[in-house]
Homo-oligomer: A and B are copies of this chain.
């Protein structure tokens, strides 16, 4: 791919992340406009809206996976776990796409997004295990229910269009339940 084509692709992805993040039903036209490219250029890179959505979803999941991996080297595993949890939920509140990407990472999404979703879940699991070893999260909490909590908190924050203060207080309650018994 030539450098200007690569630039265009990156600009389209950034615009699509923004546009679909605000409204999953937005049009490819809106994306082209924000990216400052013609609609033909968008279709050259992404022949269908589904392919564009898939690419954005994959990028989102890959970024979350990278963030989780970065945090897994943290000297304070408890802090790292809760920071990642908070980041996922905070982004969901302002960007519907995250929550839908998370749900979609199962059956509906294509192979790339599924792979990225698996990577993200695996990195999140590592953060959980490290936090439990460090005594910051109760050890009887297993991955499936902690992941269900993450999805639930994300969707609860998105569905209820929570203001950040309520979202943070909701997270305080969830984190209290994840702490080891006193």
Contacts and interface: CB of A to CB of B under 8 A. Distances in A.
A93 to B, nearest CB: 10
A147 B159 CA distance: 11
A103 interface: yes
Q: Interface on chain A toward B: helix, strand, loop, or mixed SS?
A: helix
A173 B152 CA distance: 12
Interface size class on chain A is 20 to 34
A175 interface: yes
Contacts of A172: 145
Interface stretch (A67-75, A124-132, A163-171): A163-171
A159 B167 contact: no
Number of copies of this kind of chain in the complex: 2
Contacts of A154: 152
Interface string A105-143: 000000000000000000000000000000000100110
A102 B156 CA distance: 11
A176 interface: yes
A178 interface: yes
- 10 tightest A-B CB contacts, nearest first: A152-B156, A177-B177, A155-B155, A176-B177, A152-B152, A145-B169, A145-B170, A182-B182, A173-B177, A144-B166
